Structure 1
Amino acid sequence: MLRIIVAILCVVVAHAIPFTDCATDKANTAFTVHSLDIIPATIIVPGDIHFSLNATVNRRIDSLFIDVAIHIVTKSGYEINFPCIGDTNFGSCNNIDACSIMTDILSGYSVSSTNVGQQLDQMFIAALGHSVQCPISPEEVVVQNFKMTLPPFSYVWNQLLGPERTYHIKIMIKEDPTDKDNNVGCIDFRISLSIPSNNVG
């Protein structure tokens, strides 16, 4: 279940809510997102989402690490940092090895995580004609209205994430895990998540 959440946060942004390209090394940007879309505007777990993406891999990427900053947005607009939780790679975590995430999901931490991993793999195969693995070659990534079914979260994750919250998320992509300042791809956005209390996996 931990890997499911990481995968979801790495690929979705709320419908009709703009995102910001926050790359600091724009001359060397490796990954550019042109458009992102998800329906419904508030992600309901469990439930179905429809995901669309138009992006470009600008050059070959041999290694890929991700820094993620997640903040809970309160009703008054104040933002509270969501810390990195242990070794789960969920929360405001640094140096997540993105090249191994899909392999970890497909390795089957749970039946539900394997199912989500298979859906993500099917999405990329439909868009690219192949699974995603490193090294990543330059290409266009176009996903049109892909339907993904999200399983229920466990009770513990329901308490951490629910029942309904908005999250401010910044995902920074870098090729060198020791580089803390520059990044070669970055996206800043908000998502809303709703988890009915009676839907626990």
Structure 2
Amino acid sequence: MRVTFWSMPLMGRVCGFTTTGVIETHFLPYASFCGFPPLPSATAYGVLSAVNLGGMILAGHLGDRVHRPTLLGSIYLIRAASFILPLYVAPDIRLLYLFVVLFGLLDYSTVGLAASHLGIERIGLAMGLISGGHALGGAFLGGLLYDMTGAYGWLWIGSLALSVLAGLLVFTLRDKPDDAGALALAEGPAR
């Protein structure tokens, strides 16, 4: 459990770096950098937020039906792949919208899956550690990289790399007996 306990806050920091730190801080300035007007950019951000809800519901639904660490690792790896799109967004607003839909589905869908892997007795401390370091560095580093390079490319590449790291880290966690098929067992015939 020790590896799981410390791996989850690390993955939470990666999650926070890419969501709160990068997307919630740098998305609108990046859209402006790409030459998109404020209204379509803000609308895209609103779409991302709306799709978040669907992503969380879908992840919860799937988390009751499939192996949670595999689902969580897959979400991180697909999120990593989504960071390729911002590198090619300008000047095509359709790619911006494709990115926000894809990223929105994967954005906060990791929270419940990560929390469920820790167990009820450790959830408070672990989620406190995850939340405490959630956006550590993403906003600052994104701004620093932009100031140093005059572009956002390295921010997207760094977000991609960190998401791959988090995805691979999830796959190192041991299975929990109640992860896979818990719903199927609950719905089985009563004895």
Give the TM-score of the pair, scaled to structure 1: 0.26
Between Structure 1 and Structure 2, the one with more strand by share is: 1
Give the TM-score of the pair, scaled to structure 2: 0.27
